Structure 1
Amino acid sequence: MKIGFFDSGIGGLTVLGHALKILPFADYIYYADIEHLPYGEKTKSEVRQYVQNGMDYMAEIKVDAVVIACNTATSAAGVKLRKNYSFPIIGMEPAVKPAVAYCKEKGKKVLVLATSLTLREEKFSKLVHRLDATEMVDTIALGALVKFAEQFEFDTLAVNQYLEKKFAPLDLSDYGAVVLGCTHFPLFNNVLQQLFTKETVFFDGSVGAINHLADILEQKGVAPSLDDKIKFVITNGKLPPSDVDYKKILQAYVHSIH
């Protein structure tokens, strides 16, 4: 089976990492649109066009399915594009539902971390409203983390100072759960977890998305590959990273998840 992954940069590697564990016998094509990142600062129409370009490429190489491994791209384009392609397109959704369920039992609040575009989308506000969780869900846009990640800065002084400044107005002990609403953010797990209490649980939507992908492929009767391999497609940027950079990040993340 041939599975495409689409993201603005390296964030989708956190989703691909889970795919390698759940669906190890597949050929993966990872499309990183670094030429246009960060998506969180773009307009909805711009992001939609970037995603369509990526999906057109996936159609050309005849993939069996695509994961839009980017919350921002899913919010801006996922629903609109699904009807245009013959292959299944699986998107990302912030794991607000399980986080809210967990915190209702604990009497705690939920903090959602995402890009500004994801947070201002009607899709997100409707999700929170549908869960009757408006009063218990707080949000913070952390778009700069995407830029730090693309520079391979995950635990630098600048990263720590940025997070401390963003979180300064909050009492972090109020939160029983943190939702990582951008696929770049799990790359900062170690730094983020140090800022919250040990009891705080972190949620992201990667495992749910990959389990959904596995179910769809099984329903379609797609046969696994005889051997697994990964191909990286990186759009031109000012300083395009190499396959080696991406493979190092992916390998480190796979080793960090259980």
Structure 2
Amino acid sequence: MIWIFDSWFGWLSVLKELRKILPQYDYIYFWDSLNAPYWEKNPEEIKKLTVDWIKFLFDNWAKLVILACNTAMVHSIKDLQQNIFFDKKILWVTIPGAEKVVELWYKKIWVLATSSTVKYWAYKNRVHILNSSIIIQEIEAPKIVPLIEKWEHETLNFNKILKSYISLFDKDIEGLVLWCTHYTLISDKIRNILPEKTTIIDPSFESSIKFQKYLENHKDIEERLLKNWRLEIYTSWNYNDFKSLWKHFFDFDCLS
């Protein structure tokens, strides 16, 4: 099975993209609803929670884990990759988005992000590992995620706030990265505000494409994945909240 881990529900955007192009696989999603949201916690708390839960998943049959939380990635990627799970398969939603930016050859890229990821230069550092000449201009958008989580992303107030952030971009903006999986859920709204020529780089979409290529190039892993078109959901707290949440984004029932 393919395991997806997140601290909040931005992972829904990742799951939707994966199931569009790879619907035949079995997916298990684990949402740490007990400790959500991670972005309110300090870096050490975030790292410990992420490491502990990833360890739990690998101890319970996981062969491959997709980390769908940018905040968790920012504070734990080094430990997860180099020190603790160097022999395990962990895929990151963040990296494909950075790789796409480099492929586009734009001189300057704008990034819409949460305060936490901007503070630690997470996206800028990831892109500059690949190409240090690209100018990365990040805009903090601290109000967007809380409003999405309160189901207020269809209100006039939300649209006004979203436009206020986007008005900070250059008028001739070439590319915009949605540096939070929550933002994919409102990508249509963002598209309607941006100039038509602007390219939107969605790490959720890019990660699904990269994951497809990853499986094509790693037949030893692909052959071990179950293909029953199944989806299982687990939460660390209050599954009923999850079922309510699910209905906002999917047109089929999520069974307990």
TM-score band, normalised by the shorter chain? Answer: 0.7 to 0.9
CA-to-aligned-CA distance 1:198-246 (integer Å, 9 cap, x gap) = 1111102224433444425524353342412112222326x96233532
1:84: which partner in 2? 84
State the shift of 1:90 in Å.
0.7
1:255: which partner in 2? none
Residue 40 (1) aligns with residue 42 (2):
no
3-state secondary structure, aligned to 2:93: coil
In 2, are the aligned partners of 1:8 and 1:34 still within 8 Å (CA)? yes
2:66: which partner in 1? 67
2:3: which partner in 1? 4
Give, in whole Å, the separation in 1 of the partners of 2:166 and 2:196.
17
Give, in whole Å, the separation in 2 of the partners of 1:33 and 1:158.
29
Residue 210 (1) aligns with residue 208 (2):
yes
Residue 225 (1) aligns with residue 226 (2):
yes
Give, in whole Å, the separation in 2 of the partners of 1:10 and 1:61.
22
CA-to-aligned-CA distance 1:108-153 (integer Å, 9 cap, x gap) = x42101122222225433334442346x321112233222222233
Structure 1 range deviating more: 17-26 or 7-16: 17-26
- The amino acid across from 1:47 in the alignment is I
3-state secondary structure, aligned to 2:9: coil
State the shift of 1:66 in Å.
0.6
Q: Tell me the TM-score normalised to structure 2 length.
A: 0.82
Judged with a 3 Å threshold, the aligned counterparts in structure 2 of structure 1 residues 126 and 26 are, in CA distance, closer, same or farther, namely same
1:111: which partner in 2? 110
Structure 1 range deviating more: 197-206 or 220-229: 220-229
Q: What RMSD over aligned residues (CA atoms) do the two structures have, in Å?
A: 2.7
Give, in whole Å, the separation in 1 of the partners of 2:194 and 2:222.
44
In 1, are the aligned partners of 2:2 and 2:225 still within 8 Å (CA)? no
2:137: which partner in 1? 138
CA-to-aligned-CA distance 1:1-60 (integer Å, 9 cap, x gap) = x11111122101111112213322222111122333332332221111221232133124
- The amino acid across from 1:243 in the alignment is K
Judged with a 3 Å threshold, the aligned counterparts in structure 2 of structure 1 residues 3 and 226 are, in CA distance, closer, same or farther, namely closer
1:162: which partner in 2? 161
3-state secondary structure, aligned to 1:191: helix
Give, in whole Å, the separation in 2 of the partners of 1:245 and 1:122.
31
Judged with a 3 Å threshold, the aligned counterparts in structure 2 of structure 1 residues 148 and 27 are, in CA distance, closer, same or farther, namely same
Judged with a 3 Å threshold, the aligned counterparts in structure 2 of structure 1 residues 37 and 221 are, in CA distance, closer, same or farther, namely closer
3-state secondary structure, aligned to 2:184: helix
Give, in whole Å, the separation in 1 of the partners of 2:57 and 2:251.
24
Give, in whole Å, the separation in 2 of the partners of 1:224 and 1:59.
15
- The amino acid across from 2:71 in the alignment is T
In 2, are the aligned partners of 1:11 and 1:70 still within 8 Å (CA)? yes
In 2, are the aligned partners of 1:28 and 1:231 still within 8 Å (CA)? yes
Give, in whole Å, the separation in 1 of the partners of 2:240 and 2:141.
23
Q: Which blocks of at least 5 consecutive residues in structure 1 are unaligned?
A: 253-258
2:100: which partner in 1? 98
- The amino acid across from 2:104 in the alignment is Y
CA-to-aligned-CA distance 1:53-82 (integer Å, 9 cap, x gap) = 321331243022110011121121133124
Judged with a 3 Å threshold, the aligned counterparts in structure 2 of structure 1 residues 199 and 81 are, in CA distance, closer, same or farther, namely same
Give, in whole Å, the separation in 2 of the partners of 1:6 and 1:143.
22
Give, in whole Å, the separation in 2 of the partners of 1:66 and 1:129.
25
In 1, are the aligned partners of 2:100 and 2:206 still within 8 Å (CA)? no
In 1, are the aligned partners of 2:111 and 2:177 still within 8 Å (CA)? yes
2:181: which partner in 1? 183
2:24: which partner in 1? 25
Which runs of at least 4 in structure 1 moved beyond 4 Å after TM superposition?
A: none
